[in-house]
Amino acid sequence: MSLRGFSLLGLVAAASSQSAVPTNFDFRAAAQSISAELSSPSFVPYSRPNQKIEEFIAIGDSYTAGTGANGNTETMAGDACRCKRSYPMQMSTDADNWEFINGDRTLPRFSFPAYTGDTTVEVVKEQLKMGDYKENNKDLPRAQPFGKPQLAVHDDWRILNDCVYRDWKPGDCQETLQGLQKEIDDGSLRDKINVALYAVAHAGRQAGGANPRESFQVYVLSYITFFNKVTTACNKFSWAYWWWMTTPKLTTDLRKQLNGFTRAVNAVIKAAAQDLERMGVIFIEDMDRPGDPDNPYAAGTESPGQVLLDFVFPAQNKDVANVSEASPPPWEWEGADKYPTFEALLAAIQKEGNFTTSGGDAVPFNVVRSFHPKGTAYGKHSVAVFSAMVENRDVVASGAGGKYTERCKDVDIKGDHLLVATCTNKDGQEVRTQEALGLCLRYDGGALIPADNGQYTQNCHGCFFNGPESPDHNTTLWCVCKNDKDPYIKSASVKLDDFMTVKDDGYVKCFGHISAPTSLKRWERGSW
């Protein structure tokens, strides 16, 4: 049996439904109805998949689309602003990790309806369209069907507009934050996220790609924090796009506050995902690790003020350096009477097409991209999703016999981290191999877990394999572990076939980390 696809949701902070949601929609009642359905004896709960993935999709807003991963000329699909180094795009070409998941290097079909600026309502209304898969749909701004998927990720923030770049009719920063805090405290944000995630999971089941349908998966990634919270270098500066808007300053207190709200929203998303575990929703947390939260992600080099001057006074070579903060606003300048209001000026800029216009956003792309991860960080996002898939799916063994325990013997562990064994290549020849397991495992919650570069040896020692009399001899690694979260010493184990494979040439591999075979004669001489 084969899984036809899966989709990726990047960030969740608004509401959703199968059609436009009225302003008086009762999310609390909808969330309670969903909870009752999931508790019903007749509900068929999520089941762990063990199928090959033949198709996956990526839905969501700018964090899924990858805004900021590339330069201005490296985007696709117009205002959708999908980037070629977004993490779904990187996943779509990662043959090594797909080989580990699927057992061969065939790349799954990939649909990419994620759209920069979409709210959760728009994600569900515009992006969850079933139909036949279409080739090259990544360049279509809207209406591409996603075929038969099994996974989802998505996101949306108003905070950045009101508290940072203040571009389009900005509200008061603290009032916006207070409104978000109220939604967190009274549970309404959690209700909205529950409704959104349920809609995605339900659509995935209905698409029929997963077999059984209830094995459809929704992977939800956490947000990364935006700011260095320690430095005082930013205290006197504002990131507001228009130069006459000089507040709020990015003070240490505001940066700490915004980072705190990011973590608070992550906690709500995690709770909502746990509410919907029976629908196959899986939360991937601590995404600050792949990127650098202390990196302010520099914007483009062109001054936004200069961009505005060039638009209002084309070919007049006005210099923003000669315009002071005391100057009147641009719609009052001589010769600018065709822009009677600020809104009229912004509308004209939008119509010109030099700015991202999704959702009424007039911020230039080079500013928007500043608050998104770059291509390198998105590469780590890609690995995080693959790692979560390993933890939550039964890996499909290679038809060429790549299963580690079937191709290797004399398995041993050296120095608590080097996995050594005698394995066979496709021609049946024996080679001595080794793999540094710190690249393959982490320790958490009393368990050894397959994870890229997990560095489990920071928490575990005394690793061993049971003797020949044990049924798990040479197939299950055991270690003695503890960490700050779990200070009591525990025995933890992991099956080698959950994360190790053998390539046709005799190389062994985990998460794309390939270790060359080592001479069998060296092993026989005891030179390890």
167-194 confidence digits (pLDDT tens): 555 667 788 788 888 888 998 889 888 8
Contact 130, 66 (CB under 8 A): no
Residue 475 above 70 pLDDT?
Answer: yes
Among the listed residues 510, 500, 317, 315, the one whose alpha carbon sits nearest the alpha carbon of residue 405: 500
Residue 430 above 60 pLDDT?
Answer: yes
Residue 157: other Cβ atoms inside 10 A:
23
Higher pLDDT, 59 or 76: 59
Higher pLDDT, 364 or 72: 72
Sequence-distant (≥ 6) Cβ neighbours of residue 425 within 8 angstroms: 431, 504, 505, 506, 517
* pLDDT tens-digit map of 218-266: 898 887 777 666 677 677 766 665 555 566 777 788 888 888 888 888 8
Token pair recorded at residue 20:
């436009």
Please state the separation of Cα 17 from the chain's center in Å.
22
- Strand ranges, E, within 361-489: 408-414, 418-424, 430-436, 441-444, 447-450, 460-464, 476-481
Q: Rounded mean pLDDT of 502-518?
A: 77
Q: Give residue 153's identity as a one-letter amino acid code.
A: V
Token pair recorded at residue 408:
């290797």
Token pair recorded at residue 334:
């001589």
Query: Out of 400-409, 460-469, 519-528, which region has the weakest mean confidence (pLDDT)?
Result: 519-528
Residue 361 is predicted with a pLDDT of 44
* pLDDT tens-digit map of 53-69: 888 888 887 788 887 67
Please report, for the chain, the start and end positions of each structural domain, with discontinuous segments joined by +: 2-21+35-157+189-225+268-293+374-391, 404-524
**404-524 has which fold?**
HIV-inactivating Protein, Cyanovirin-n (2.30.60)
Share the mean pLDDT of the chain: 73
Q: How far apart are CA 68 and CA 74, in angstroms?
A: 10
Residue for token pair 């709200």: 261
Residue 357: which pLDDT band, with cuts at 50, 70 and 90?
very low
Residue 221 is predicted with a pLDDT of 86
Mapped onto helix, strand or coil, the DSSP state of residue 31 is: helix
Residue 155 is predicted with a pLDDT of 45
State the CATH class of domain 2-21+35-157+189-225+268-293+374-391.
Answer: alpha beta
* pLDDT tens-digit map of 331-352: 566 666 666 665 666 566 655 5
- What ranges in 289-374 are assigned the alpha helix state H? 304-312, 342-352, 365-368
Among the listed residues 360, 13, 20, the one whose alpha carbon sits nearest the alpha carbon of residue 179: 13
Residue for token pair 């050594």: 420
Q: What angle do CA 156, 162, 164 make, to 5 degrees?
A: 95
Cα torsion angle, 320, 322, 323, 325, sign? positive
Residue 280 is predicted with a pLDDT of 93
Residue 478 above 80 pLDDT?
Answer: yes
Residue 79 above 90 pLDDT?
Answer: no
Residue 293 is predicted with a pLDDT of 40
* pLDDT tens-digit map of 2-57: 334 444 454 333 322 233 455 567 888 988 999 999 999 999 999 888 788 888 88
